[in-house]
Amino acid sequence: MERLMESSAGLHGRSVLTLQEWTPNEIKQVLTTAAWLKANPKVAQIRYALAGQSVALLFELPSTRTRVSFQVAVESLGAAPVVLGWEDSQLGRGEPIKDTARVLSRYVDGIVIRCRRHETLQEFSRWASVPVFNALTDRIHPFQALADALTLWEHKRHLAGLKLAYVGDGNNMAHSYVVVGAKLGMHVVVASPAAYAPDPTLVQWAEKEALLTGGSVQVVEDPREAVAGADAVATDVFVSMGQVDQEAKRLSLGPYQVNADLMTRAKPDALFLHCLPAHRGEEVTEEVLEGPQSAVFDQAENRLWVQKAALLHSLGE
């Protein structure tokens, strides 16, 4: 374990906002540490690695996997989690982000935040004097992308050169795959209707980043084209939390459902990925979600390990 920490001394004090700010080698280091932690869960020194520290967990949006896995990660490293609902804090009464960020920084060693708008996270990070960890915004979900990369690594034994097809809304999960795929030399193809395509500015950034890693990023409208020959097929709910155009969006995205027929276009050993919770019968069928190619519960577990690894590197000595 000492060698893992020594080789990543540059990660100390780092925030995780989008993963765009991390180098490919830094991301690989976190994944390596996560895999080591998963294989060695009872190592005594890990249980006290962050002893005496505290981490605030601030949630504006509902959460099961993120909230529980982060709280367990913090506690299992010996730190104290301070869990706050948005409405339970003065933020719910209109206190400026910059005030809350500066106050919390006086009390805790790190801040995990899940919020509606990515701009809120950016404002928090701008004013905080401790590392800030993005537990989901409307723009990106970096720890889910790390968990999924770890899941692919476990099943495929490599990441560079893999083809990942994402089918559905060009939302924060589509953005997450575009970023992590470009960083790790994967070939990411996003299939979305034009009205719900991923942010073209982010896609352009990822295309340039992928040139440096041997990967590629492509956006198409035909889900069958995207899935052809894929090593993994991913999707997400058609309508994300807080969105209001629900029925129109569901109708537009209906043809993008991942079902058994679509999966036949991918490689026979392709994995199915979904960050959960899933709406069975909408973006994915029960047959696929519960089928032998589904790795959704591996993904859910791996959230714990990548979050634990990032906290260890950022807040550890």
- Residue-wise DSSP of 110-178: EEEEE-S-HHHHHHHHHH-SS-EEE---SS--HHHHHHHHHHHHHHHS--TT-EEEEES--SHHHHHHH
Residues 6+ apart with CB under 8 A from 14: 22, 26, 131, 313, 314
Q: What's the CA dihedral at 69, 70, 75, 80 to 10 degrees? A: -150
CB count within 10 Å of CB 218 equals 17
Residues taking part in catalysis: 114, 141, 144, 236, 275, 303
Kindly provide the residue ranges of all beta strands, DSSP E only, lying in the chain, ordered along the sequence: 54-59, 80-85, 110-114, 132-134, 163-167, 187-191, 216-220, 232-235, 271-274
- What φ, ψ does residue 247 adopt, rounded to 5°? -65, -45
